[in-house]
Amino acid sequence: MYKKDHIQFYGFLGIGQFGGNATKKFEEAGYPCVVANSSVEDLATRGAKNKFHFRNGQGCHKDRKKSKALLKENLELLIDEVRSKMPAITTLFICASSAGGTGSGMLAAVAKILSNQLGINICIVTVLPDKSENFQSYANTVELFQEIEKLDVIGATFILDNSKNRDKLKINEIFFTHLDALLTNDNGGDYGCLDRSEINKLLSTPGMAVISKLGKDNMDKFVSILTSANIYAPLEPNKVVRYVGIMSCNTHVELDQLYSVVGTPIDCYIGTSAPSNVCMLTGLTLPKARLNEIKSMAQTNAEIIQKGIMAASNGLFDDSIDFLGAFDTDTKPKKEEKVSSLDILSEFL
């Protein structure tokens, strides 16, 4: 199948500012896209073909409750928008930041609802905050992943990490380059082909997923790129992996080193004679260590903020003094309280 024919089956829904940015390259490449936001201003900065504004939304300023309320009000409209703008898709990538308001608040719910309503595979694409963020970003991330962990109706989850590159937009570009190389499926020869059904199997496998793409002469760097020198959240060291997909420039692929580091998969799909080396791991454990690091940062920031608020609630001065009356010479007569005869008598009893 020619590239321009099959990309219609892979749609991208960007929610919030990150979602709009992350889908830009895919839209330019011809993939069907919808960009949704609660902020008119954010939508205006993204020259998307298909824009969806959440009615009565004026931005969510990282308030997940406000985001969920807007979703409830606009839910049917959003479902209809995706249906009408992406009629042929079999897999939908929902892109939204874990730390923001609009995207973080809606991501998990939208994933479950669209899976149910459209009967298609849903992949999540999100991004973790780096150390330059604040309490609200960290708290939103923890809350979102508590929701994602409970989802049982989604496929691959791509977890990008802003701590991996100072240029956040560069992370989006790299992700596009890698995923597009997989979806275009440019490989195949006498020694094997990674076909469309195998790609869809990789994408429909639950758990964290990572992809890497390297030039012809860099196959020896695959393991380090997949496990550390990449744009994704760090892999857990438990060596849990379900499937591996490889498109290799060569006719033979050595897998021993890869398996020794990431674990032994249920199956490995291999394609040869590709223009570049592409590898995808699916069914990985969610990045528990990285997420707990973010949780710790949220707790630390919360303690600092609470101490500041408590300090601010104290009086301006440690003690009090009557400066205005400090040099008054007139003494006011002591006001005598009138007591009854019985009170006087009680002193003697």
- pLDDT tens per residue, range 153-178: 999 999 999 999 989 899 999 999 99
Give percent of the chain above pLDDT 70: 89
The percent of residues above 90 in pLDDT, for the chain, comes to 68
User: Residue 34 contacts by C-beta under 8 Å, 6 or more apart in sequence?
Assistant: 11, 12, 13, 14, 48, 50, 51, 52, 81, 82, 85, 86
DSSP 185: T
Can you give the pLDDT at residue 344?
46
Is the model's pLDDT at 1 over the cut of 60? Answer: no
User: Is the pLDDT assigned to residue 192 strictly greater than 90?
Assistant: no
Structure tokens, 155: 């496929």
Which residues does residue 160 pair with via DSSP β-bridges, in sequence order? 127, 232
Give the per-residue pLDDT at 220.
Answer: 78
Say yes or no to pLDDT of 48 above 50: yes
pLDDT at 347: 54
CA nearest to 55, candidates 30, 32, 33, 80: 80
Over range 244-269, report the average pLDDT.
Answer: 92
Mean pLDDT for the stretch of residues 218-234:
88
> Residue 348: pLDDT band by 50, 70, 90 thresholds?
very low
Q: Residue 305 has what pLDDT?
A: 79
Residue 345 CB-density burial (10 A; 0-12 exposed, 13-18 middle, 19+ buried):
exposed
- The four Cα atoms 267, 273, 275, 280 give a dihedral, to 10 degrees, of 0
Looking at residues 81-86, what average pLDDT do you find? 96
Measured CA to CA, the distance from residue 290 to residue 36 in angstroms comes to: 28
Structure-derived torsion over alpha carbons of residues 89, 121, 291, 143, reported in degrees to the nearest 10: 90
Per-residue model confidence (pLDDT) at position 26: 97
Q: Does 3 have pLDDT greater than 90?
A: no
What CA–CA distances, in Å, run from 194 to 6, 156, 180, 241?
15, 18, 14, 18
Is a pLDDT exceeding 50 seen at residue 241? yes
- Average per-residue pLDDT for the chain: 89
